[in-house]
Every structure is written in structure tokens, then in C-alpha cells.
């Protein structure tokens, strides 16, 4: 009987297991049956799970561009509130105390964060387009309704609730989607996208101020609505989900409350948002009320502040990719608190401009870096979306508290307590920075030269 070539010449006892298998599978006609060797050559079955992130490319950067637009129309609206605060304080539209006016911006900011608890699971089920359409509609509709308001409660419903919920439906999908397209450059990608909030905080205040005097408050607000409507076309056209969760995530990850570094960092974000709210709400009203600037420059102070934060959202995130996110965020948060305290030394126009630029730069970390921090503090990557939504919802309480508490400290009777206001904002900012340093120590100890 003929033997397979390369097998017959080898004695039976010296054959390798693979050779014996080949010989045993040969029939009398010399035809081989399926062998182990042939099985090894067969293509392996496809593995489960998504492919690795492209970490670049046209489609990935289009997601960043779409995220830029969504930040422009969500946090950009929040960063514009100082202009609304200053205008409402004039009493032209309605009469309310500083604390009550601050509730509008505080609720709007808080709902942007809180709505993530609902938007996250909807996003996980694959309804990205539904979130984009609904959120865009609510933002534009809220602005159109705000243009018709003449009472405090009407502005509260339109600006705080309608726009706030709409922004929340757009914000959470943005910070959940962009990291799925990048691996090593997550910080830079999120930083570029989040810089859209700074651009929104530059353009919208200028548009408002310039148009209020020319066409009045209603048409000024409608113009903002038309800008938002036009720019929302970009994310609706290009935004795509690369990865869909195998099952919708839980709304709350209860294990997070026993995760020491995570819950301590979330507390620091809550405190940080309180201090940052003081800046967002009063950076414009302060120089006008104290007479350091004229009314025109006071309105432009918001744009100057947000111009400073453009670099503050990109540069720290790019730096965090190299030296570590907590090595970046902790010291910058501490410096932010110090710069807020420096507002006590401002007594002229030049000093106010410098302060707006500097505080704007360091406040850039408030929006840009926390999503990256929450990602790092989440061991189970399948729970990243839940942890981000949960962390921002808790941290958002700081935005809810910050504005009204600052308004209460400022008071309604002359003279206004500006010293107490800036001490309040600066101290809580420094406290947040110290707590973040503690989180860094919890993760890496006292060793300085380690990326964390």
C-alpha cells in the first residue's frame, strides 16, 4: 500500500503525532481525509467584539467636528449666561433678585448634567439620531420661546428647563461617542471638541450684545436660535455610532459608591462646579456694577473669558495624554481657585481683562478633563457610560448650588458683597484642587514621576 510522502519513510515508532494522524487518515485509494494539519490551515472563526478604535482618519475627526458643534450649542449656552444675568439685572425684561436670576442659569446647567442619566441608556440602545433630533429641537424651541418671555417664570421655563434638558440630551452622547473613535489621543480629541463651548461663549455674547441695542432682546435671542438651528445640521449629517453596547447599561452603578477614588473625585467635581459657577454668572456683572468698565466692555468680558478658555480646553488635554490626567487637572484646579481670589485685587479695566483671560484659561479644565478622569477611574470599561453620566449628575449639583448661593452672598442691597463672593468662589476652587490631589495620591501614592 502506498504511504503519504514524508510519512512512509519514517518508522512507526519514530513518527510525530501529526505524521501519525496524517497516515491514519489515508484510505486504500490514497485519498486523505480531513487531517489535523488541514484544520490548522483553515481560517479561524471571527472573534466577537468591535475592532480597535481607528485613532484618527476622516470619519473619526468628523465625530470630533460634530462634537465641537454640540459643545458650541450646549456648554456654549451655559458660558453665555453671564450676559443674560447682566441684562436681567437691569430690570428691563422683569424684576428679580440676583439669587433668583441665578436660578435660571443654575437649573439650566444642572439639567444639562442630570439628563445624562436618561440620555445614556437611550444612546446605548442605538438611538443616537433620536437624541440629536430631540435635543436640537428643544434647544432651538427654548430659545424661540425665551424671545417671547416678559416674566421671570416664563424665562425659567424656557431657558432653564427647555434648553437645559435639550442640552443634556446632546451633551452625554457626545462625551460617550468620541472616546470610542480614539485610543491614545482621547484627551486631545475631547479637548478639541470641548473647545466648541469656548467658541460658543465668544460668539453668542457678542451677537446678543450687538443685537439687543439694534433690534431688541426678542430678535437678538431669535438670532441665536437661528445660529443654533443652522449649526445642528453638522452633527445630524456626520455623527455615527462606531460601537453599540451588547446590552443597555444600567442607569446607576451602585458599586461606584464603594469606589473610593471615584466618589472622592466626583465630590471634588461638585465643589469645583460651585466655584466655576461664580465665574460664569458674574464675570460680566462685576466690572459693570463696580464701574471698572463701561457697559459695552462688561458684555464683551464674557467673550474675553471664553477666548481664554479655548487654549485652556485643548492644551491641558493634550498635556494629560503625556503626563497623566490627574497630574494635569489637580494643579490646574488649584491654580483656578487662586486666580479667582485674585479678583479681589482688580480695580481697573486692564486688570479685569487680564483676570478674564487667566481665569478663562484655567476654567477650561472644568469641562474638558473630567470625562477623561471618569474614564480612567472606571476599571470595568463596559460601565464607562454609566460612570460618566452618574459622575456628571452628582457633580452637576454644584452648578445648581453655585449660582443661587453666590447670589445670596452678593446680596441685594447696596453695597453688594463682592469680597465675600470672590472669597467664596476662590476657596471652594482651592478646596476642589486639594481634593483632586488626594485622589491622585490614592491612585499612585506620593511618587511624583508617575503618569496617573
Determine, yes or no, domain membership for 69. Answer: yes
Q: How far apart are CA 425 and CA 338, in angstroms?
A: 10
Question: Positive or negative CA dihedral for 131, 134, 139, 140?
Answer: positive
Q: Name the one residue in this structure whose C-alpha cell is 464683551.
A: 300
Report the distance separating Cα 44 and Cα 83, nearest Å: 62
Domain encompassing residue 413:
58-444
Cα distance between residue 202 and residue 347, in whole Å: 24
Q: Count structural domains, the chain.
A: 1
> Does residue 267 lie within any of the structural domains?
yes
Q: Which residue has the higher pLDDT, 32 or 381?
A: 381
6 lies in some domain: no
Residue 50 within a domain:
no
> All 3 cell numbers of residue 94?
422683569
Cα torsion for 210, 214, 216, 217, to the nearest 10°? -10
Give the Cα-Cα-Cα angle 95, 226, 89 (nearest 5 degrees).
15
Q: Is residue 146 part of a domain?
A: yes
Q: Any idea what DSSP says for residue 46? A: P
* Interval 149-173 mean pLDDT: 93
Q: How far apart are CA 287 and CA 75, in angstroms?
A: 23
Q: pLDDT by residue (tens digit) across 393-420?
A: 898 899 899 889 998 998 877 788 999 9
pLDDT for residue 215 is more than 90: yes
pLDDT in tens, 357-392: 999 999 888 878 888 888 888 887 667 777 888 888
Please enumerate in sequence order all residues whose Cβ is within 8 A of that of 49, keeping only pairs 6 or more positions apart, or say none: none
CATH number of the domain enclosing 330: 1.20.1250.20
pLDDT at 352 over 50: yes
pLDDT for the residue 28: 43
The number of C-alpha atoms within 13 Å of 110 and in the hemisphere containing its C-beta is 19
Q: Pick from 425, 430, 272: which is nearest to 344 by CA?
A: 425
So what's the pLDDT on residue 249?
Answer: 66
Judge whether 12 lies within some domain.
no
Rounded-to-integer distance, Cα 406 and Cα 265, Å? 23
Q: Which residues of 375-411 are buried (b: 16+ CB within 10 A; e: fewer)?
A: bbbbeeeebbbbbbbbbbbbbbbbbbbbbbbbbbbbb
Give domain status of residue 43, yes or no: no
State the chain's maximal CA–CA distance in angstroms: 113
Measured CA to CA, the distance from residue 101 to residue 358 in angstroms comes to 26
Residue 410: CB partners within 8 Å, gap ≥ 6?
Answer: 98, 99, 282, 416, 417, 418, 420, 421
Whether the pTM exceeds 0.95: the reply is: no
pLDDT, position 49: 56
For the chain, the helix, strand and coil percentages under 3-state DSSP, each to the nearest 5: 75, 0, 25
Distance of CA 142 to the CA centre of its chain: 22
Does residue 2 belong to any structural domain of this protein? Answer: no
For residue range 189-211, list pLDDT tens digits in order. 888 898 898 899 899 999 998 99
Amino acid at each position: 500500500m502506498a504511504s503519504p510522502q514524508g510519512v512512509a519513510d519514517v518508522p512507526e515508532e519514530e513518527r510525530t503525532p501529526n505524521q501519525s494522524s496524517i497516515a491514519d487518515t489515508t484510505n486504500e485509494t490514497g485519498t486523505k481525509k480531513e487531517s489535523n494539519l488541514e484544520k490548522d490551515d483553515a481560517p479561524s472563526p471571527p472573534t466577537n467584539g468591535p475592532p480597535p478604535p481607528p485613532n484618527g482618519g476622516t470619519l473619526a475627526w468628523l465625530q470630533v467636528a460634530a462634537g465641537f458643534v454640540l459643545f458650541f450649542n450646549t456648554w456654549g449656552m451655559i458660558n453665555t449666561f453671564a450676559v443674560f444675568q447682566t441684562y436681567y439685572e437691569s430690570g428691563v425684561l422683569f424684576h428679580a433678585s440676583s439669587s433668583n436670576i441665578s436660578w435660571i442659569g443654575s437649573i439650566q446647567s444642572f439639567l444639562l448634567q442630570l439628563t445624562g442619566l436618561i440620555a445614556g441608556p437611550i444612546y446605548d440602545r442605538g438611538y443616537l439620531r433620536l437624541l440629536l433630533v430631540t435635543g436640537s429641537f428643544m434647544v432651538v424651541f427654548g430659545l424661540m420661546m425665551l424671545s417671547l418671555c416678559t416674566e421671570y417664570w416664563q424665562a425659567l421655563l424656557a431657558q432653564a428647563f427647555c434648553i437645559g434638558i435639550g442640552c443634556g440630551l446632546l451633551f452625554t452622547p457626545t462625551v460617550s461617542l468620541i472616546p470610542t473613535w480614539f485610543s491614545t489621543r482621547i484627551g486631545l480629541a475631547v479637548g478639541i471638541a470641548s473647545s466648541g463651548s469656548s467658541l460658543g461663549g465668544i460668539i453668542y455674547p457678542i451677537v446678543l450684545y450687538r443685537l439687543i441695542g439694534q433690534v431688541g432682546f426678542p430678535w437678538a435671542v431669535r438670532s441665536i436660535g437661528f445660529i443654533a438651528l443652522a449649526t445642528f445640521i453638522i452633527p445630524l449629517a456626520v455623527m455615527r455610532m462606531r460601537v453599540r453596547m451588547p446590552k443597555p447599561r444600567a442607569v446607576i452603578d451602585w458599586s461606584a459608591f464603594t469606589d473610593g477614588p471615584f466618589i472622592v473625585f466626583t465630590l471634588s467635581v461638585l465643589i469645583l462646579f460651585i466655584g466655576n459657577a461664580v465665574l460664569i454668572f458674574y464675570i460680566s456683572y462685576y466690572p459693570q456694577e463696580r464701574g471698572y468698565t463701561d457697559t459695552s466692555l462688561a458684555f464683551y468680558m464674557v467673550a474675553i473669558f471664553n477666548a481664554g478658555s479655548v487654549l485652556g480646553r485643548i492644551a491641558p488635554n493634550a498635556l494629560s495624554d503625556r503626563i497623566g490626567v490627574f497630574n494635569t487637572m489637580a494643579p490646574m484646579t488649584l491654580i483656578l481657585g487662586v486666580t479667582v481670589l485674585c479678583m479681589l485685587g482688580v480695580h481697573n479695566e486692564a486688570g479685569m481683562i487680564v483676570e478674564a483671560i487667566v481665569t478663562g484659561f484655567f476654567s477650561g479644565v472644568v469641562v474638558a478633563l473630567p470625562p477623561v478622569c471618569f474614564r480612567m477611574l472606571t476599571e470595568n470599561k463596559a460601565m464607562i457610560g454609566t460612570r460618566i453620566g452618574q459622575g456628571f449628575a452628582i457633580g452637576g449639583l454644584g452648578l445648581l448650588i453655585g449660582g443661587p448661593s453666590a447670589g445670596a452672598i452678593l446680596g441685594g442691597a447696596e453695597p453688594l458683597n463682592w469680597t465675600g463672593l470672590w472669597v467664596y468662589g476662590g476657596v471652594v476652587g482651592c478646596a476642589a484642587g486639594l481634593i483632586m490631589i488626594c485622589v491622585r495620591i490614592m491612585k499612585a501614592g506620593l511618587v511624583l514621576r508617575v503618569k496617573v
